[in-house]
Every structure is written in C-alpha cells, then in structure tokens.
Structure 1
Amino acid sequence: MRAGRLNTRITLKTASTAQDSAGRVTKGPDAIVATLWAEKRHISGNERWASEHVTNTATVVFRIRYRTDIETSMWITHGGTDYQITGQPIDPDGRRTDMLITCTEVQVDGN
C-alpha cells in the first residue's frame, strides 16, 4: 500500500457503558479505539423524503492499514461527521496490508 493515499485523518470509535451508584448500566461516553490515516472514497448517495424531512444517505469506503480489532458496532468520525460501519472490513488482496471499511453516513435535514 502506498502511504501517500492515506491522506485523511479518521477516528475509530465505539460505545462504552458506565455503572451508576445504584448499579444500573448506562451508556457512557464514546470511547476512541484509534486515530488512523485513511483514504476516503465516496461510492454512492441518495436523497429521499421521509417523515417530513429530507434524508441524505451516502455510502463511503475508507481504506486503512490492516487491523484485527474492527467491529460493525463501531463507527468512524471524520470532519465532525459520523459514519456507521455497515459490514465486516474487507482485506482486498488477502495480504493483510490494508483493508476496506464500508460505511454509511445519514444526514437528516430538520427544516
């Protein structure tokens, strides 16, 4: 993999839980798994009207160096936007040098 293509800084995050004084498990702050260099590519996008709001959906693929700790419950943050990981990461050539992560960005216009 050529490092020059990895020109976008992303943050890989996961949800965390916390326990309050009564012993209840609640959602804690987002936990940062890693901050990585990536290549970002827009694959597709669409716009539709749903529940009196315009919903924009974009499919984005991030190429990163190979890792073994990525799960579909995680998400990627880039430029203040969250991208939900939609499938298992793909090792495109089976050489464990890089991987492709497919994500979905959903924006709802509340006007």
Structure 2
Amino acid sequence: MLIGFSIPTAFRWCDMRAGKLNRRVSLQKRGAARDTAGQPLVDGWTEIARLWANIRYLNGREYATSDTKVSGATASIRVRYRADLDATLRIVYRDAVFNILAVLPDEQDRDHVDLACNTGVNDG
C-alpha cells in the first residue's frame, strides 16, 4: 500500500464505462470522397474516425411530404470526449445516418460528449 500517494485528476476513475459504449459508429465529414474507380464524388462523405458510442432514441415522428411518408427520429449519441466534434459532421450507424445538431461536451470532467442528432430526414 502506498501512503501519501494520490492519483492525478487526469487519471482518476471516471463514470464513462466501456460497457455503456456498445455501438461502433462512423464519424464522417463532407469532402473528398472517391468512388470505386478513384474519381472524386461531388457530395461525398469521408470517414475520419470509428468510435464506440451509446445511442438513445428520444422520440420519433412520421409525416407526409410530396405524397410520401417520411419518418424521422431524434437521438442522443454519447461518445468519449473529443475536442474536434462540430455540427458539420455526421454519424453513421449501420444504415442510419445521424445529422449532428448540437455538440454538448462534459466540460467538468472531459469524460464524454453528447451529440444531439436527428435521423431519417436526410443524409447529412
């Protein structure tokens, strides 16, 4: 046992448990994506990171537009703390594309970032 030894704040045990981050998602930015032939795509998205995340759907809705039914959902996606997240990025999980509406960092502990997102409305 170490007497008089304290763990620095940066290394203390945080509330972010690995088991809560149970979905592997793709963080993407709009830009220089290329097709299978290597040609640049006009409106392409490029993966910049693969992250572990927790996805919580907050509500959903369905509405009609141009004689077709469209469904959408609002979600909160929690990832480990990153300083480079902003609303120009998007998250892709399986076939679902999540548009980031707001970035809500945990400024006190710098443990996680909550991303307020919507899905089903467009592709980002």
User: Under TM normalisation by the shorter chain, which class is it?
Assistant: 0.7 to 0.9
1:58 is aligned, of 69, 73, 77, to 73
1:17 Cα deviation from its structure 2 partner: 4.1
**Correspondence 1:92-107 to 2 at 5 A:** 92=106, 94-106=108-120
Q: Does 1:81 align with 2:96?
A: yes
Q: Which moved more, 1:27-36 or 1:68-77?
A: 27-36
Structure with greater proportional strand content: 1
Q: Name the amino acid aligned to 1:13.
A: Q
Name the residue aligned to 2:23. Answer: 8
Scaled by the length of structure 2, the TM-score of the pair is: 0.73
Amino acid at match of 1:90: L
Where structure 2 has 5 or more consecutive residues not aligned to the other structure, the ranges are 1-15, 34-40
**1:12-23 equivalences in 2 (<5 Å):** 12-17=27-32
Matches within 5 A, 1:9-48: 9-17=24-32, 27=42, 29-48=44-63
Q: CA deviation at 1:51?
A: 1.1
- Following superposition, the deviation at residue 33 of structure 1 comes to 1.3
TM-score, structure 1 as length reference: 0.81
What stretches of structure 1 of length at least 5 have no aligned partner?
Answer: 19-25
Partners of 2:72 and 2:93 lie apart in 1 by 16
Change (3 A) 1:52 1:41: same
**Which structure has more RCO (C-alpha within 8 Å, separation ≥ 6)?**
1
Does structure 1 retain, via aligned residues, the 8 Å contact 2:81–2:106? no
The percentage of counterpart residues that share the same residue type is 28
The one-letter code matched in structure 1 to 2:19 is: G
Please give the per-residue CA displacement for 1:49-69, whole angstroms capped at 9, x wherever unaligned.
111111111001111000011
> What CA distance in whole angstroms lies between the structure 2 residues aligned with 1:39 and 1:49?
30
